[in-house]
Amino acid sequence: MAALDTITQYVAAVIAVFTGVYNISLLALGVVLARRTDGSLRGQLRLTHERPVALPAGWTVFVLVPCLNEERVIANTLRCLFDGQPGVRVVVVDDGSDDATSRIVRSVGGDRVTLVRRAPPAARQGKGAASTPGCARCASARGKSTWTRGGYWSACWTPTAG
């Protein structure tokens, strides 16, 4: 019985060493390939797409950003949206954040950002519940005086002609 325990221990040690070598080699390969293709976060944030197309006269593009405790990333998100499409309007729905998200949105956005704050108990009910007042704000910004469930899609997105 002692010989069987010794064999089991040796097999377990071999499996552990093999697993460690395999995982470390995969990690090293991933790092090498990520550096070769500039897979860093800085490289991913660079604009790699074509220049934005100018919006037709009378058109407004609304981007809805529901957020909760996003003070670390909201400023960069807004800057990327503004750089990516000139003329875009952003509606940020702060879903009851405990941090400085709202203050940062006000300081970065200017007149191109509309901030909708939700407070408990209505806040923190999920992304869908946070998006609804944001879409309502898009509808009111477009001059639509009524808000119905059936008007949800036409209020948020204007279909293209053709």
pLDDT by position in tens, the chain (length 162): 788 889 999 999 999 999 999 999 999 988 888 777 665 556 655 655 666 677 777 777 888 888 998 889 898 888 888 877 777 888 999 988 899 998 999 898 788 898 988 888 878 888 888 888 888 887 776 655 444 444 444 344 433 343
Angle between helical axes of 74-84 and 101-109 (0-180°, round to 10): 30
User: Given this model, what pLDDT does residue 145 score?
Assistant: 43
The strand ranges marked E within 61-138 are 62-67, 89-94, 113-117
pTM reported for the whole predicted model:
0.58
The answer to whether 67 touches 97, Cβ cutoff 8 Å, is yes
Task: Give the pLDDT of residue 153.
Answer: 40
Contact 145, 162 (CB under 8 A): no
pLDDT at 124: 84
Q: CA 90: distance to chain centroid?
A: 13
* Closest of 84, 51, 78 to residue 64, by C-alpha: 78
- Strand segments, DSSP code E, in the chain are 62-67, 89-94, 113-117
Contact 141, 116 (CB under 8 A): no
